[in-house]
Structure 1
Amino acid sequence: MIRALHPWFLLLLLVLPLVWTMAKRIRVLGHGRKALALFLRTLVFIFLVLAVCEFEYLKWGDRLTVFFVIDRSSSIPPDTQQYSLAYVQERLGSIPRDDQAGIIFFGKTAAIQENPRENVTLVEYQTIVNPEGTDLEAAIGLAMAAFPEDTQRRIVLLTDGNQTQGNAEKAVQRALASGIDLRLLPLTYNYNQDALVEDVIVPSHLQENEPFNVKILVQAQEAGPARLRLTENQQVVAEESVELKPGKNAFLIPRKLDHGGFYQFDASVEAYFDQRPSNNHAQNYSIVQGTPRVLLLDSEYAAGQSLAAALTAEGIQVDYHMPDSLPGTLPELQIYDCIVLSNVSASEFTASQMQMLETGVRDFGMGLVMIGGPDSFGAGGYLGTPVENALPVTMDIKHQRIIPSGALVLIMHSMEIPQGNYWARQISLAALDVLSREDSLGFLYFNSSRGGDDWLFPLMKVGDKQLMRERLLSLQQGTIGDMPSFNTTLEKAYEALLKVEANKKHIVILSDGDPQRPLPGDIQKIRDDNITISTVCISPHNQTNVDVMRAIAELGGGNAYHVTNNKNLPRIFIKEASVIRKNLLIEEEFTPAVNQYHEVIDGFPEGFPPLQGYVVTSVRPEAELLLLTHKQDPLLAVWHYGLGKAAAFTSDAKSRWAKTWLGWSGYAKFWAQVVRWTIRSQQETHFEVAAAVEGDNVRVMVDALTPEGGFLNNLQFNAVSIDPGVKSNPFPLVQTQPGRYEGVFPVF
């Protein structure tokens, strides 16, 4: 089928008879040449009309789904945002009858305003997204995930292109590679009245009680009064009225810090004439050398008090909290010189927090200590995570040991929630990432097109995960149908699990709870074969649905979750997938054996008391393996990771496995030495670092001096910038003059 997107331009063809009539009056050319000229001009005119009509070829039976992806970030002026909305409203009116349209708003986050359907209108803007940023990759990815099956796909992207996080180029490449027609409408605008904070200049390193100045540079396009504010670790420390002049304005605020740690300085300006508030802020950081500070996290707060008290008794400043107290941003995390994770599951953290921990160790010199327990290391879901990258041990068991494998079946019911298809992918991929190559995974769902249960992929060894990942990424809107009954689906999962050899077997059901309830006897039969069942209830129609899901989990020996925030789904599935990784726990008494001597274990001539268990891991080739278990597995390993140091102790520090250690006279000394070895180095440096924005780039300048003030030349630097997504991006620093090194990286 051939279709014109703008068919009304065909009316221009009505002008042709008038052109022909006027051409007959031309007598300059001969009859033959005049006919040829008239034919060629007519042909060119027809082609131009057909071009503006935008004809496209569709196969019979194909439909088109268009996603309008609209940038709602605060960097775009209100009138330009209104223009983009009006444009979409107009285009929605020209969507052909059988085609569908959907709408996505995005800024720092992305969300669906309208799911794809016919006769879409944009009347109310109900979807709220965080406007303080622009993530084009997330917006395009959400559109790709939300397209329905069996239609042609088009994305119309309306944006100013000023991304602050994500990778738009990769997202565009993925969209084009998958056959999506991607069209861009650039949003352009000019600001005639603007005041912006260009830079906040502070020393990179300070001593306690050392006086210094915070220098704030403000660029203004016109003169006028303004309000200048400075915050220090989110506390306002200075606020004053100032007079701006056109061009660059510099303001000095004297400060002195009496406690060591990481300090974030945020400067803001408010001018009455300002039309662009999104650039009214800038920030910088300083490290104040003082007493090191340690953050200890433990999910069993009462049981972890012994370790907190022991470290405090050894003179270490400890902040002791539950895992949900881990800071959410890298600047907030930097007040600590070491993070200690004592039996904390990966499901307690978001993906960005785990990336933040790795970046903190590698690029900011922070220390990291992971202590074992049933919810730690591989048993806690850290396989394949950024935190694993920072540790001296891996969760993938590579040495010649037979570790009992696990088997997991995911049962998916159609999710009647916005972006249901997207969340089905995310939670399944989260579960897949937790499993090792020897574990087994199956994905079971109700196939509405054929009216029965079906495997997206059958229960099988995870292997390199590539096949399963591809199948999950291929999930299209509408693939997962509305399951009429739990009985047949559970029976199919049960039969598959009976056929595999696995030490742990587990089923996780995601549903709204409205399919027909399974018989208690059928659940008990599954339970009798040592197969457990957990349920995740989302968007239930009533309380009865919630009760059904809870009853299934209680009879099945698993956990029941009622999810009200979709963002918690991946973390729940990480936790549930980790159930089958409990085969990594060895609960046998053993006495630690010294593998090599190191300052961390110096001062224990009588050795170490026995322990009652540990989590199996593999030591990295670059790490130093200090203590071994009775099965020659790592007990204590340390290493340098980038600028930081990390330690892994695979047993615990509590009464489950370390009961005899709690009464041991060396308990406090041992843990103090482990933690102190990893604490961020506070060696005095003679590098002064400054940065300045130059158009779309940031120029970094490093002055390297000796203690006497001489120049340090011919140095080799490894420089990285950290983007808003907490990802490291290396860039070169080259010497430009005696003691001066410079480099440039793009603004994110």
Structure 2
Amino acid sequence: MSFSFPPALLLLALVPAAIWLGYPRQRFRRRRDTVSLILRTVIIVLLALALAGMQIVRDTDRLAVVFLVDASDSVDPVLRDAALGQVRETIGAMGDADLAGLVVFAQRPLVERPVSDSRSLGPVRSSPDSGNTDIAAAVRLALAMFPSDAARRIVILSDGQQTIGDAEAAAQLAAAAGVEITYLPLQTLDAPDVRVTRFDAPAAVPQGQQFDLSLTVQADQATRARVDIFASGELITSETTDLREGVNNRTLTLVAQDSGFRDFTVIVQPESIDGYYQNNQLATFSQVIGPARVLAVGDAEETQYIAAALQEAELTVDVIAPENLPITAAGLIPYESVILANVAADRLTDRQMQTILAYVRDLGGGLVSLGGPEAYGPGGYFQTPLETVLPVSMQLEDQQRQPQLTIAYVIDRSGSMATLGPSGQPLIELAKAAIDRSIDFLQPTDRAGVATFDSAAYWIAEIQDVANREELRRLVGTLRPSGGTDIRAGLELVARDIVNEPTQLKHIIVLSDGLSNRAGLIEMVGALYAEAGVTLTSVALGDDSELMRDMAEAGGGTYRMAADPSTIPTIFAQETVLATRSYIFESPFVPAVSGRSPILQGIAGLPELRGYVGTSLKDAAQAVLRGPEPYADPILASWQFGLGRAVAFTSDATARWGTAWVTWDDFTRFWNQAVRWTMTEGGSDTIETRVTMEETAARVIVDARDDAGGFVNGLALSVSVVDPGLTARLIPLRQTAPGQYEATFVPAQEGAYLLAVNGGGSDGTTVTQTSGWVMSYSREYAAGRSESILPRIAAITGGGRLTDGLGSAFARTLTARGGAAPVFPFLLIAALLLLPIDIAVRRVLINRSDLARLAAALRARSRPAAEAATGRMAALMDARERARQAIESEDVTRSAVSTASALRTRVRSDETRRAESITTGAPPQPKPAPDPDRRPAPQPAAPKPAPAPTADDSGENIGARLLKRRRPPPT
């Protein structure tokens, strides 16, 4: 017996209390109270055992085995296929009481076959990423697959070359769970190989100075190979050389030219032997110290004035279109700051925006955002990484300044909406996300509705107040793709309701691929706009749609083509903002200074601006400049975000709104100070960062020295590590030697890792440096092989190597494991059945006669034929009884008549004697008292007196005749 939740047994402490409270204290009902007390006690015990999860443990002879087969690149594919064949044969020959499962693993484990008693194993179709070996993850997955009522064993078929994970920790878990680990070693792939084992560059080098790139290539056999070296993606040298067997060292001397963060890559291409192509390249980074570099992102007309001003301030400026923004943090590291000049969010991918976020927050980069009609709220920044990183939010806090809006979403739900977009999500799911984001932007006083159409139209959510956002989201979640496409049906459904809405603004957003009949559609949209003021925005999926374009033009709205479906949520947010027409303010004003900032240092006065985009200041941000009253919206805002800084300027830097600014004498000074404020401060030349790979972990080593070359101790440093997937982790550095600080991290994927070291000393000095490290290939393809970890993890669990192949995989060498059968359902049922009995005992009075009748009724119910016979006999007995009673009634009547006659005779006799006594003068003699012993027995009450008997023709009455009849005849 066992319990799954033993603390519930504490409820048994209620038993003494129940006995004390329910002990019988009244003599006349002691028996019932005693029975009730016993029932209550039993119910409490049953409930306590049920809540404790009572189980009955029974020994079982079942054995469950999970096979873990290594599918990584380090295992010879021929041997792996042979091992899978052995597993198939072993499963086919297992016993009736045995169970088997199969997991195929490499970088992550996949369940090929769950644990079952089937003896068949089909073709193995699992194909995990083979670039790493994670034995620990495979063991943990196997532990989760085992049943609880069987002896358990894990059989690992691998070369034991763990590259990620902690297999020994997983083995400890297996041992604690009573699971044995055994193994069958597989041969590591052993083919002649050429691999790059080292490629180094100095962490920092001054611009214009020479530096060396050091390269080490290891070859298992002598061969010729071509060696190409790239700097920031450009080929700088290429040569064909002879590689001797063993270690080959090369050194390339270069001159540091462009300032910023530079990456270098070497690729070696052998002509003959090559066991793994993955280990033929390495990369490294170096920081070229020189003039600061800035990346300006935007169209030429948006960046021309600010780029010229920054170049005049001796900053190096690179200008690119938004579509060319790097998608990796390594692409932004060469720049101290990034400028977004009136860039709409739908011109950037989500990956590009995430890169900006990681660049500022985790790597200490700077960001300057310039306004315009395509920026901030109108640019679709709402609920994007751009809104996260900026010091302003896209919604206006003052709801009174925004006119009330009714918006209706008309969504195509035809079968084509089930198509997967580039992100792997169905288009209908992107449409749902777009509606959710748009609804989030609306004010509680706004109204919204969602209609959908295929071959017909339906309301998903009729037009209602936006205050209940959660209900709207729930209804939107019910959208499912099916059917054809009839845009007209959807618009007709919405038009009937939206024209009657009392709000000042009415807007429709239509999302479709535009493959619909256009008959009368354009005319209907035009009439809605002209007669009811309902504007319409059309969003076309995929290719350009003439129908969708004409609808938007007729409806006074905008036409948007979502070539990349992932931009649909951003487009919806953009159009929601534009529908309100309250976020762009175009009127001349002079910004008011609202806070002290280094950005305004040395600037006495500010020129006029002609417009800006309305935003709201975030709590932790500073408003340096504000707009005109009464709203006083932020015009220039700044804040510290993570390790970096960001500035938002809600007007623009062109002649559109800043005509007076671009000709202002301090225009260059203002933007130079604004951009430089976002650049990370600190002496990056005082520290040097390097990364070395040790077993499964990368070690970060930071050397700190002062200008004289002495060690700098006592610094509080940390390093922010950004992996290739833009996931950041902040790791503290600890001092391990004079001037040396270290930390470790486990690289989980190949690619470039960016490291930002940040901190300072007790004297107030700050230290920052950004560097990089590349894991070009995993240890799966590294030179040499480490000792197999399989013997160690098997020993932890009491297992070992299978010396006779898989023949002993199902050997009965494990202790039989008890199977726990839960009994709490039966305990609960028993308690529920006893409860009404307890109530009946206390509330219902039952005596012996009740029990006798109940027993008689039960006997009668059990003998239906006897019951029928008894019924007939009872009827006969009733008839007999009635006859007997009739006769007795007749006898009583006769007796009554005789008595009456005797009384009359006696009365006449008494009267005669009295008369005689009067005549003779003798006194009447008293009648002697009757003898008590001879007193007649009391008679039953006589029935209602019958009418006095009448005499018949003979002169005798009925009484006389009855007396004659009763006298015996004379003999």
TM-score (norm 1): 0.69
CA distance in 2, matches of 1:714, 1:305: 47
2:128 partner letter: T
What aligned pairs does 1:599-748 form with structure 2 within 5 A after superposition? 599-605=598-604, 607-630=605-628, 631-681=631-681, 683-747=683-747, 748=749
Question: How far is 1:641 from its partner?
Answer: 2.4
Q: Percent identity?
A: 30
> Is the 8 Å Cα contact of residues 213 and 251 (structure 2) preserved in structure 1?
yes
Question: CA, structure 1 residues 663+711, in 2 after alignment: closer, same or farther (shift >3 Å)?
Answer: closer
1:280 partner letter: N
Question: CA, structure 1 residues 580+209, in 2 after alignment: closer, same or farther (shift >3 Å)?
Answer: same
1:511 partner letter: D
What aligned pairs does 1:371-520 form with structure 2 within 5 A after superposition? 371-398=370-397, 402-404=401-403, 407=407, 409-416=409-416, 418-419=419-420, 422-430=426-434, 432-433=436-437, 435-436=440-441, 438=443, 442-446=449-453, 452-455=457-460, 457=461, 479-495=480-496, 497-498=498-499, 499=501, 501=503, 503=505, 505-515=507-517, 517-520=519-522
CA distance in 2, matches of 1:454, 1:163: 51
Give unpaired runs (5+ residues) of structure 2: 1-59, 66-70, 89-105, 112-123, 146-155, 160-187, 750-971
CA-based RMSD: 4.4
Q: Which residue of 2 aligns with 1:160?
A: 129
> Is the 8 Å Cα contact of residues 76 and 189 (structure 2) preserved in structure 1?
no
Q: Which residue of 2 aligns with 1:7?
A: none
Question: How far is 1:582 from its partner?
Answer: 4.6
> Is the 8 Å Cα contact of residues 363 and 642 (structure 1) preserved in structure 2?
yes
CA distance in 2, matches of 1:326, 1:253: 31
Question: How far is 1:329 from its partner?
Answer: 2.9
Q: Which residue of 2 aligns with 1:292?
A: 292
Bigger proportion of residues as helix: 2
Q: 1:595 and 2:594 equivalent? A: yes
CA distance in 2, matches of 1:404, 1:163: 58
Spell out, residue by residue over 1:102-124, the C-alpha distance to the aligned partner (whole angstroms, 9 max, x if none). xxxxxxxxxxxxxxxxxxxxxxx
> Is the 8 Å Cα contact of residues 441 and 573 (structure 2) preserved in structure 1?
no
Bigger proportion of residues as strand: 1
SS at match of 2:127: strand
1:522 partner letter: M
Question: CA, structure 1 residues 701+627, in 2 after alignment: closer, same or farther (shift >3 Å)?
Answer: same
CA distance in 1, matches of 2:221, 2:581: 65
SS at match of 2:275: coil
SS at match of 1:158: coil
Q: Which residue of 2 aligns with 1:531?
A: 534
> Is the 8 Å Cα contact of residues 414 and 454 (structure 2) preserved in structure 1?
no
1:530 partner letter: G
Q: Which residue of 2 aligns with 1:558?
A: 557
Question: CA, structure 1 residues 465+340, in 2 after alignment: closer, same or farther (shift >3 Å)?
Answer: farther
SS at match of 1:703: strand
CA distance in 1, matches of 2:472, 2:246: 57
Q: 1:261 and 2:260 equivalent? A: yes
Judge which range, 587-596 or 672-681, deviates more: 672-681
CA distance in 1, matches of 2:558, 2:459: 25
TM-score (norm 2): 0.54
CA distance in 1, matches of 2:510, 2:346: 16
> Is the 8 Å Cα contact of residues 453 and 487 (structure 2) preserved in structure 1?
no
Q: Which residue of 2 aligns with 1:232?
A: 231
Question: CA, structure 1 residues 483+502, in 2 after alignment: closer, same or farther (shift >3 Å)?
Answer: farther
Give unpaired runs (5+ residues) of structure 1: 1-43, 53-72, 91-132, 141-154, 177-185
Spell out, residue by residue over 1:129-148, the C-alpha distance to the aligned partner (whole angstroms, 9 max, x if none). xxxx99x99x99xxxxxxxx
CA distance in 2, matches of 1:296, 1:744: 35
Quick one: higher RCO (CA 8 Å, sep 6+), 1 or 2? 2
Question: How far is 1:356 from its partner?
Answer: 0.9
> Is the 8 Å Cα contact of residues 211 and 256 (structure 2) preserved in structure 1?
no
SS at match of 1:354: helix
Question: CA, structure 1 residues 330+442, in 2 after alignment: closer, same or farther (shift >3 Å)?
Answer: farther
CA distance in 2, matches of 1:243, 1:382: 55
Spell out, residue by residue over 1:317-346, the C-alpha distance to the aligned partner (whole angstroms, 9 max, x if none). 333343223233322223332222121111
> Is the 8 Å Cα contact of residues 227 and 239 (structure 2) preserved in structure 1?
yes
Q: Which residue of 2 aligns with 1:345?
A: 344
Q: Which residue of 1 aligns with 2:330?
A: 331
SS at match of 1:596: coil
CA distance in 2, matches of 1:474, 1:157: 33
SS at match of 2:426: helix
Question: CA, structure 1 residues 656+458, in 2 after alignment: closer, same or farther (shift >3 Å)?
Answer: farther
Judge which range, 483-492 or 568-577, deviates more: 568-577
Question: CA, structure 1 residues 622+161, in 2 after alignment: closer, same or farther (shift >3 Å)?
Answer: farther
SS at match of 2:359: helix
CA distance in 2, matches of 1:329, 1:453: 44
Question: Alignment length, in residue pairs?
Answer: 595
Question: How far is 1:234 from its partner?
Answer: 0.8
Question: CA, structure 1 residues 461+244, in 2 after alignment: closer, same or farther (shift >3 Å)?
Answer: farther
> Is the 8 Å Cα contact of residues 390 and 648 (structure 2) preserved in structure 1?
yes
> Is the 8 Å Cα contact of residues 374 and 582 (structure 1) preserved in structure 2?
no
Spell out, residue by residue over 1:389-416, the C-alpha distance to the aligned partner (whole angstroms, 9 max, x if none). 2222222444676444653514123253
> Is the 8 Å Cα contact of residues 437 and 463 (structure 1) preserved in structure 2?
no
Question: How far is 1:198 from its partner?
Answer: 4.1
CA distance in 1, matches of 2:208, 2:72: 39
2:482 partner letter: G
Question: CA, structure 1 residues 493+724, in 2 after alignment: closer, same or farther (shift >3 Å)?
Answer: farther
1:275 partner letter: G
1:620 partner letter: K
CA distance in 2, matches of 1:157, 1:676: 53
Question: How far is 1:561 from its partner?
Answer: 4.8
Question: CA, structure 1 residues 563+357, in 2 after alignment: closer, same or farther (shift >3 Å)?
Answer: closer
1:287 partner letter: Q
Question: CA, structure 1 residues 572+384, in 2 after alignment: closer, same or farther (shift >3 Å)?
Answer: closer
Question: How far is 1:740 from its partner?
Answer: 1.9
SS at match of 1:310: helix
Question: How far is 1:562 from its partner?
Answer: 5.3
Judge which range, 210-219 or 439-448, deviates more: 439-448
> Is the 8 Å Cα contact of residues 365 and 681 (structure 1) preserved in structure 2?
no
> Is the 8 Å Cα contact of residues 599 and 674 (structure 2) preserved in structure 1?
yes
Question: CA, structure 1 residues 695+447, in 2 after alignment: closer, same or farther (shift >3 Å)?
Answer: farther
Question: CA, structure 1 residues 677+432, in 2 after alignment: closer, same or farther (shift >3 Å)?
Answer: same
CA distance in 2, matches of 1:382, 1:471: 25
Q: Which residue of 2 aligns with 1:182?
A: none
Q: Which residue of 2 aligns with 1:366?
A: 365
